[in-house]
Structure 1
Amino acid sequence: MDPVTRHAVTVQGPLDAPPLVFAHGFGCDQSMWRHVAPMFADRHRVVTFDFAGAGGSDPAAYDPDRHRHLDGYAADLLDVLQALDLRDVVLVGHSVAAMIGALATIAEPELFAGLVMVGPSPRYLDDDGYTGGFTREDIDELLSSLASNYLGWSAAMAPAIVGNPDRPELGHELTAAFCRTHPDVARRFAEATFLSDNRADLPHVAVPALVLQCREDVIAPVEVGTYVAEQLPDATLVVLDAIGHCPQLSSPELTADAIRAWLDEQAAA
């Protein structure tokens, strides 16, 4: 099966326009970008897709060995870009997809013109001199709870992840997205995500980057966004006046405006 079908690729906008590819994070699918991606279809070839094991992707696309580490997801992303014959891509990656995008740009930098990282984290675990936001006990408890009762974990965690307690519908939407993922796939992807350490990869990202950070985020605190921007060779940090880990859901206009402003700066440079 070709990558376009395998990953349920959707394309909007002029086919000859600069490509803008949106990649979703853990437990989500391409529908998480539905408020933001269409805002760019007037002047970009906008591409969304589902990673293996998510959304409308072919169930056979998921391979426990290939997707044991984030490199397998980066290879999937590159497969999609090559199948569409895309060049000069600006990738917009949310959460773990930001690091997947970083790995893809390192593997094949000639395909990319830029990288937008929304709520990135190269390492979720705290370390000496580094604040990731979680202790090892936190991660072990998270993975244990996810493995033993995925639906319960989803219902409890989604509202905390998305933030904005005055808008419970956002938590409900993220819960529903989590629940569309098979529990075994979610558990393995969670391990690949929350036990990863890609700090050493950041200096090797050779394309300009925008780091979008919410001012309050329980998954990737401001210290993490600052660290990412400092470690990248060419990065701009923008702290959004937004709460939660999913600004594309809670503050889509603010998110789109920040991306658009950076794209305009890059075009003028």
Structure 2
Amino acid sequence: MAPKKPAKNLPPKELPVAPPTLPWPRLHPLLPASSLSLQSILPEQIVTIPNFFTSTLCNTYLSFLQKNISLTTTPGKPKRGEAVRVNDRFQTMDEVFAKTLWEQSGLKEIVEREEDQVGLWGGEVVGLNPNIRIYRYMKGQFFDKHYDDSNLLPSFPTPNASGSSRIPCETTWTLLIYLTGPADGIVGGETVFYTEATKKLKSEEIVVEPEKGLALLHRHGRDCMLHEGRLVSEDGGVGKWVLRSDLVVRRAK
């Protein structure tokens, strides 16, 4: 019998998508984009932006989320084709917040600094996925080994010379922003990537610790690496919180 393939990170259909009515906090304070840079963990696969959110901003968003959203715990026995995950989730479609996060956080400037943007990001980056997801991992929760799928966005809003238009796009990189970390008493919960094994080399682990304020970007879709969110062994009474979106690129005709 062939070995069972790791599940993909498919959107759980049972979770309700909330209307875009959240009064998101202002993105302040932030470090200037000129003080931030991409740190390559694995070339063209995994990069991070340390201090992308300041500690103060992380605390502001954490307090806001704790008061304003209702989390849904994912089932321990997922549907066929879904990754095994035990965590608490919330998602909302919010084009305004996605645009704000892209343009005002400094991410747009950081992404566009790269010389070969199309080669690195898989196309011309036009913004962030409006499907905003919030994850919380309490003690004993985890996200098993999986791959993240790319998603097609047939009508994505982009500015042009005459105002704005909607064009077909797709996602190419996952964006994770850690709102808590070891400073909050979190132990475990690392995001771990696995290189492919060959006849001569064993698979190796690439471990990214959920540092508070860190942004992690990793390629997804057909070039996604196998990865997992390790079990949280201590949650500090607050849990590991993550804000998730994706880089969106213009689809090639």
Q: Is the structural similarity TM-score above 0.5?
A: no
TM-score, L = length of structure 1? 0.28
Kindly name which structure, 1 or 2, has the bigger radius of gyration based on alpha carbons.
Answer: 2
TM-score, L = length of structure 2? 0.30
Considering Cα pairs closer than 8 Å and 6+ residues apart, tell me whether 1 or 2 has the greater RCO. Answer: 2
